A and B are shown apart, each in its own frame.
Chain A
Amino acid sequence: MIIADRKPFEEIKELTSKAKNILIAGCDSCVAVCLASGEKEVAVLASELRMQRKMDGLEGEIEEIVNVRQCENEYVDAMRDKVEKADLILSMACGVGVQTLAERFPDKLAYPALNTKFMGRPVEPGVWKENCEGCGHCILHLTGGICPVARCSKSMLNGPCGGSQGGKCEVDPEIDCGWQLIYDRLSRLGQLDALVEIMLSKDWSTSWSGGPRRVIKESAGV
């Protein structure tokens, strides 16, 4: 899922300081599940902002709304009544959600309250780690189910490099060496011979370097 993290309050305070009526819009999908959004986080931020703005002598109302997925036109359109009363929509969704709001309500300001981080998963309560960069061409079947693109700090296809020490990455001792993980997993699966094959340079044209991408599923077209 998409992992996000709330912006520092100081930053949110700044970017909302000129608005009068604010609608804080949460999303109940990925960002709620990673505890960055959802009704509680929306209420907490709304409460913080109300207190701050009262101390700063700012006027105006702060409204709260949460919908199922802020990246879908239908759900976003259903917010219209509350949006109309607001000068600024403060989105507690990922970057996709913020852009959906901007597109559906072209005359309203839609600002982000979160920093969208990566595609990843929870590894322990309160800790999420990155697993996928969305490169557009998956090779997990070759690397023991561990992605060298996302989990090797250098995205090496034929690792590890000399910076792998005791299973950790030289970039940060908190980071597991992706290639050590690949080696351990292949060893467990009895597929270490796969590492004898040199992987040729990856076709990055499917990745972001080709500009914004799109997916077309013919059968889904109506």
Chain B
Amino acid sequence: MNFSGYGTVRNFSEMKGTELKESSEKTGAVLVVGGGIAGMQASLDLADSGFKVYLAEKSPFIGGKMTQLDKTFPTNDCATCILTPRMVDVAENKNIELLVYSEVEEIKGYGGNFDVKIRQKATYVDWSKCTGCEECVSKCPAKIDDEFNQGLGRTKAISLPFPQAVPKKVTIKREFCHFFLKGKCRVCEKVCQLGAIDFDDQDQIIERKVGAIILAPGYEVYDAHHSPEFGFGRYPNVVTSLQFERLLSAAGPTGGHVQRPSDSQKPKRIAFLQCVGSRDQDHGYCSSVCCMYATKEAILAKEHDPDVDVDIYIMDMRAFGKGYDDYYNRAVEEYGIRYIRCRPSAIKEIPQSKNLLIKYQEGREGLRTEEYDLAILSVGLGPGSSSLSLSQKLDLQLNEYGFYQSDPFQPLLSDKPGVYVCGVFTEPKDIPESVIQASGCAALAAGLLAEARGSLVLEKTYPPEKDVSAEEPRIGVFVCHCGSNIAGVVDVNQVAEYARSLPGVAYVETDLFTCAQDTVLEMREKIKEHNLNRIVVSACTPLTHAPLFQETMQEAGLNPYLFEMANIRNQCSWVHAREPEKATEKAKELVRMSVARAAHLEPLTKFPMPLNHDALVVGGGISGMTASLALADQGFEVYLVEREGRLGGIANRLHYVFENQDPGELVTSLARKVEEHPRIHLYLHTELKKFSGFVGNFRSILSRRTDDGAGEEIEVEHGAIIVATGGQEYLGPDYGYSRDVRILTQLELEEKIASNGSVLQGIKDVVMIQCVGSRTKVRPYCSRICCGEAVKNALRLKEINPEARIFVLYKDIRTYGFMEKYYTEAREKGVIFVRYDDEHLPEVIVAGGRFGPKSGSNEHQRETEKQAAPHTQDMAFSVGQPEPTGHSTAATMQGRGETSASEQYWDSLTVRFYEPILDEMLELHPDLLVLSTGVVPSEGYEELSRLLKAPITQDGFFLEAHVKLRPVDVAFEGIFLCGLSHYPKYIHESIAQAQAAAGRAATILSKKFLEVGGAIAEVDSEKCVACLTCVRVCPYYVPIINVEGVAQIDPAACQGCGICTAECPVRAISLRHYLDEQIIPKVESLLAGVV
């Protein structure tokens, strides 16, 4: 159901804040290229904030690659289940024009005004008539390989790609169609009862004017045929990871049974080969997602068959996202998945059994060979099939790998003004990163076109609603044949006849397709003609079809809540195909139930609630400033609150990124823009003290420290809030930190290199230890940026002194995406990377003792942990000065297990570690020990979490509403997240997320009114006993106990999920549209005559 947005708001006066002009020079429309998860997100955000969207997708359906996935990491959420509602939202949004099976032909113009030509390919089916019943598909004689199932199954020349496809329309593939190939057949034309087949269909050129363009053309997986050493295409039991997704999927070619292709047997031993088409000579980048999807597929394989053995051949486990390391640990500990640190060079097949042999190196034990039933190639992400042609049309330069690599400080901008880039088009990335970038692009496009906001959106008006409250029910029942889908099993006429006998029913008809365009138009007339005041459609699922019928009712002057659907297809004819008589009886019962409920339905209205159009941004680092600017540029007033006396946050301590730009300059330029922006109200030395209200109408009290020390309180009202409170460097006592001036953190080293790199020229030996304060028992999460930080600083040290010996002790090097090439460069320049694991932790011996990770503190008592004091005084060390006595700076090899700490080390710095290839303990006496310390949340995060009712993870980072599809929203509506407060991330990722937070906030702030009411929960305050149950169970944190001591549910915030209603012990809460008075008659009608 889509009642939000401009569709039904009728009163547009009293608009505060942003002015929406009726006409302007810029065009208030955006072309989004690519209908995958990124393109859909950008389209929805823009359409919900007052812009017309044209969504061009080259395939005949939207949803992109995600439609082919079985589950998603790290929650194992079903991909289809979370994606389908999103696809339906796109299809229903009145401000999104869906142009599927379309490609961009030509783009002319400039930012603000583009003329685009789009070629919509011929489908040979009139989609205005097609209902997706698939009768033609079942009769089509041309069987072809099923592209959607990656060639593992068969489909037809006319087909629906998959059951949940949006739009649910069939397409003829001309190259396989018997009619087009041989000149005869036309079977589909004969069986289509709607006359939808059109062999004369032609490509159409569609011309549109848009103000901005968002490119989200996505990716193609690496074609494993290009790595013949793995036998893909020759050995049947070598499949790609995307094929394996289809084998896992219940909707896949094997119905969710994992079978090996050669003999359809259940595999007993499965191997995954990582980095196929990534991190190799031809692909110098990491695909960023394969470690995690392989882990997911391995877990799912284990869940399908707990007896299967799964080995994953891997170089580095790159679980760098939120909750990813936890998932990886579970894969190892709970599922027993074996990760083998080796990159096998080939797969060989045993011809008789079609089993596969993989040879690999194991420690010093030499080469071993393992036999598997099934091998899965974890194929990398390559450029999308249309990336090149698209960038040529726009004159954009792709990088050496075929991606559009953007500026790290402007990650969503292309070189062409008005053209924005997101998703895998710019770099391989996972779903949440793509969604974040898409929302960010929406914010930037909306900023460019702010003056044209609302100029092209559809404002649908309906005739006045008829008051039916005093009328007796007059129910219209529409029974659908759904071609033969229902009528092939259920006797539809019998069902209709039965419906006529039911109480309250005034009109019954049967339709070939109730959802067909002409039938829907007729329904409007039937409502008027028979004076119907309730509608029951007895057909398929309300998920896809309720909105269509409800809109028809509104057009006929009926309240859309006076509607009920009986699903006699999915829940009846499809599941009882072999028992037509019983199915008919069940269909009657389903209709009887729906009629019983329909008679008790009541009209519900949504009413417009005014809202405040200003935003509050908490935190003035790069994220907070970027979010503020992205909102202010869109025309919203922003209150930006920063606790410190200067803007910039942790970025004030950064001096360069890989690509050499200076974050300091970025901070300076952002700060200047923020200070000069007329719509940004900056409050330094200020903290958020109190927070109340609900989405659209929040009230905050800010507390500012004044010069006289007295402090003042400022009250602001705002419609949304963005949390950008940042993070800080972990400064625990690990590895002797703070005990010796030669022990630094990466940030301290970076400051030293930037301020006076020449003092480091004499540095000979440097040891870096990774995962300090990360991936430990206390902090199990990966801090994501430390590997890149170490590689970046190692390269700088090599520049300063190419002779320096740098040893990086690491668990996994997580230089994902294009950072991989810097890791390669570091190794080429002689930086030595030595892997360690939890059984072989490095040890530092320095004056005062031996230190490992978290020395001397209680591992399980995180609260009591004290952060070690950072070096506050200027570190007065000069290189080479404290030459360790009795030792050269060269590494000293020692026998394994031999203890070595003694007096002679007193003023030396010693690092002991295990070298796995040599299988020896090594000792180094470096001039510098650099700790790659993790990122921890900013101080006060717990307090802020309580204040905002915004949940945090056990690691202290704010929790998003959905890890995949709502990565910047908080469950409590109106609160958005960005930057390090969400999770450790690089600057370019923080910028994108800050822009995304602004984009998401704008979908609220740009509304003239919030529509509240409808099917939401209401409290009977007379009955409420203030037990707090609703407060505790609400997943959106909506109920509160108010000053009268009873529960209160804000209608603007309630999502209508009904959990509180079910849990309330005194039945004080009712959910409108699902009242006991409506549900119980439905149940009683089912049981009539039985009980």
Q: Which of B1023, B1025, B1067 contacts A33 (CB 8 A)?
A: B1025
Asked whether any CB of chain A lies closer than 8 Å to the CB of B1032, the reply is: yes
Cβ-defined contact, A33 with B1032, below 8 A = no
Q: Which of A29, A40, A54, A125 contacts B1064 (CB 8 A)?
A: A40
Asked whether any CB of chain A lies closer than 8 Å to the CB of B1057, the reply is: no
Cβ-defined contact, A125 with B1027, below 8 A = no
Cβ-defined contact, A40 with B1067, below 8 A = yes
Question: How far is the CB of B1083 from the nearest CB of chain A, in Å?
Answer: 12
Cβ-defined contact, A39 with B1067, below 8 A = yes
- Contact residues in B for A29 (Cβ distance below 8 Å): 1025
**A32-B1025, A33-B1025, A39-B1023 are known contacts. Are A125 and B1033 too (CB-CB below 8 A)?**
yes
Cβ-defined contact, B1033 with A38, below 8 A = no
Cβ-defined contact, B1032 with A38, below 8 A = no
Question: How far is the CB of B1040 from the nearest CB of chain A, in Å?
Answer: 17
Interface centre among B1029, B1064, B1065 (most CB of A within 10 A): B1065
B1076 nearest in chain A by CB position: A43
Asked whether any CB of chain A lies closer than 8 Å to the CB of B947, the reply is: no
Complex Cα spacing A38 to B1067, Å: 8
Cβ-defined contact, A39 with B1032, below 8 A = no
Asked whether any CB of chain A lies closer than 8 Å to the CB of B1066, the reply is: yes
Cβ-defined contact, B1065 with A125, below 8 A = no
Complex Cα spacing A29 to B1066, Å: 10
Question: How far is the CB of A32 from the nearest CB of chain B, in Å?
Answer: 5
Question: How far is the CB of A40 from the nearest CB of chain B, in Å?
Answer: 5
Cβ-defined contact, A33 with B1065, below 8 A = yes
Question: Which residues of A (8-52) have their CB < 8 Å from a CB of B?
Answer: 28-29, 32-33, 35, 37-41, 43
Cβ-defined contact, A35 with B1029, below 8 A = yes
Asked whether any CB of chain B lies closer than 8 Å to the CB of A93, the reply is: no
Cβ-defined contact, A41 with B1032, below 8 A = no
- Contact residues in A for B1066 (Cβ distance below 8 Å): 28, 32, 38-40, 66
A167 nearest in chain B by CB position: B860
The DSSP consensus for interface residues of chain B is: loop
Question: How far is the CB of A98 from the nearest CB of chain B, in Å?
Answer: 19
B1032 nearest in chain A by CB position: A125
Question: Which residues of A (38-96) have their CB < 8 Å from a CB of B?
Answer: 38-41, 43, 54, 66
- Contact residues in B for A38 (Cβ distance below 8 Å): 1025, 1027, 1065-1067
Complex Cα spacing A28 to B1020, Å: 14
- Contact residues in A for B1032 (Cβ distance below 8 Å): 125
- Contact residues in A for B1029 (Cβ distance below 8 Å): 33, 35, 125
Cβ-defined contact, A40 with B1065, below 8 A = yes
- Contact residues in A for B1023 (Cβ distance below 8 Å): 39
Question: Which residues of B (1056-1072) have their CB < 8 Å from a CB of A?
Answer: 1064-1067
Question: Which residues of B (1011-1055) have their CB < 8 Å from a CB of A?
Answer: 1023, 1025, 1027-1029, 1032-1033
- Contact residues in A for B1064 (Cβ distance below 8 Å): 40
**A40-B1065, A43-B1067 are known contacts. Are A33 and B1033 too (CB-CB below 8 A)?**
no
Cβ-defined contact, A41 with B1065, below 8 A = yes
A54 nearest in chain B by CB position: B1091
B864 nearest in chain A by CB position: A188
- Contact residues in B for A40 (Cβ distance below 8 Å): 1064-1067
B1068 nearest in chain A by CB position: A39
- Contact residues in A for B1027 (Cβ distance below 8 Å): 32-33, 35, 38
Cβ-defined contact, A32 with B1033, below 8 A = no
Complex Cα spacing A99 to B203, Å: 84
- Contact residues in A for B1091 (Cβ distance below 8 Å): 54
Complex Cα spacing A38 to B1023, Å: 10
What 1/0 mask marks residues of chain A from 139 to 168 whose CB sits below 8 Å from any chain B CB? 000000000000000000000000000000
Question: Which residues of A (185-199) have their CB < 8 Å from a CB of B?
Answer: none
Complex Cα spacing A43 to B1067, Å: 10
- Contact residues in A for B1025 (Cβ distance below 8 Å): 28-29, 32-33, 38
Question: How far is the CB of B226 from the nearest CB of chain A, in Å?
Answer: 54
Question: How far is the CB of A94 from the nearest CB of chain B, in Å?
Answer: 15
Question: How far is the CB of A124 from the nearest CB of chain B, in Å?
Answer: 9
- Contact residues in A for B1028 (Cβ distance below 8 Å): 33
Complex Cα spacing A104 to B212, Å: 78
Question: How far is the CB of B864 from the nearest CB of chain A, in Å?
Answer: 9
Complex Cα spacing A184 to B439, Å: 47
- Contact residues in B for A33 (Cβ distance below 8 Å): 1025, 1027-1029, 1065
- Contact residues in B for A54 (Cβ distance below 8 Å): 1091
Cβ-defined contact, A39 with B1033, below 8 A = no
Question: How far is the CB of A154 from the nearest CB of chain B, in Å?
Answer: 26
- Contact residues in B for A66 (Cβ distance below 8 Å): 1066
Complex Cα spacing A66 to B1065, Å: 11
- Contact residues in B for A37 (Cβ distance below 8 Å): 1065
Question: How far is the CB of A176 from the nearest CB of chain B, in Å?
Answer: 15
- Contact residues in B for A39 (Cβ distance below 8 Å): 1023, 1065-1067
What 1/0 mask marks residues of chain B from 47 to 80 whose CB sits below 8 Å from any chain A CB? 0000000000000000000000000000000000
What 1/0 mask marks residues of chain B from 622 to 660 whose CB sits below 8 Å from any chain A CB? 000000000000000000000000000000000000000
Complex Cα spacing A39 to B1068, Å: 9
Question: How far is the CB of B697 from the nearest CB of chain A, in Å?
Answer: 29
Complex Cα spacing A33 to B1047, Å: 13
Question: How far is the CB of A55 from the nearest CB of chain B, in Å?
Answer: 11
B1062 nearest in chain A by CB position: A40
B861 nearest in chain A by CB position: A184
Question: How far is the CB of A187 from the nearest CB of chain B, in Å?
Answer: 9
Complex Cα spacing A28 to B1091, Å: 31
Complex Cα spacing A143 to B1025, Å: 33
Complex Cα spacing A35 to B1033, Å: 13
Complex Cα spacing A39 to B1069, Å: 11
Question: How far is the CB of A45 from the nearest CB of chain B, in Å?
Answer: 12
Complex Cα spacing A40 to B1023, Å: 12
Complex Cα spacing A190 to B1029, Å: 36
Complex Cα spacing A29 to B1032, Å: 18
- Contact residues in A for B1067 (Cβ distance below 8 Å): 38-40, 43
Complex Cα spacing A38 to B1064, Å: 9
A188 nearest in chain B by CB position: B864
B1067 nearest in chain A by CB position: A39
Complex Cα spacing A142 to B506, Å: 76
Question: How far is the CB of B1069 from the nearest CB of chain A, in Å?
Answer: 10
B1029 nearest in chain A by CB position: A35
- Contact residues in B for A125 (Cβ distance below 8 Å): 1029, 1032-1033
Complex Cα spacing A32 to B1064, Å: 9
- Contact residues in B for A32 (Cβ distance below 8 Å): 1025, 1027, 1065-1066
Complex Cα spacing A28 to B1029, Å: 13
Complex Cα spacing A40 to B1064, Å: 7
Complex Cα spacing A39 to B1023, Å: 9
Complex Cα spacing A125 to B1033, Å: 8
Question: How far is the CB of A67 from the nearest CB of chain B, in Å?
Answer: 11
Complex Cα spacing A198 to B500, Å: 85
Complex Cα spacing A37 to B1029, Å: 13
A125 nearest in chain B by CB position: B1032
- Contact residues in A for B1065 (Cβ distance below 8 Å): 32-33, 35, 37-41
The 8 closest A-B pairs by CB, nearest first: A38-B1065, A33-B1027, A38-B1066, A39-B1067, A39-B1066, A32-B1065, A28-B1025, A40-B1067
B: residues with CB less than 8 A from A are 1023, 1025, 1027-1029, 1032-1033, 1064-1067, 1091
Q: Give 25 pairs: A residue, B residue, CB < 8 Å, sorted on A.
A: A28-B1025, A29-B1025, A32-B1066, A33-B1025, A33-B1027, A33-B1028, A33-B1029, A33-B1065, A37-B1065, A38-B1025, A38-B1065, A38-B1066, A38-B1067, A39-B1023, A39-B1066, A39-B1067, A40-B1065, A40-B1066, A40-B1067, A41-B1065, A43-B1067, A54-B1091, A125-B1029, A125-B1032, A125-B1033
Contacts A35-B1029, A39-B1067, A40-B1067 given; 17 further ones with Cβ under 8 A?
A28-B1025, A29-B1025, A32-B1025, A32-B1066, A33-B1025, A33-B1028, A33-B1065, A38-B1027, A38-B1065, A38-B1066, A38-B1067, A39-B1066, A40-B1064, A40-B1065, A54-B1091, A125-B1029, A125-B1032
A: residues with CB less than 8 A from B are 28-29, 32-33, 35, 37-41, 43, 54, 66, 125
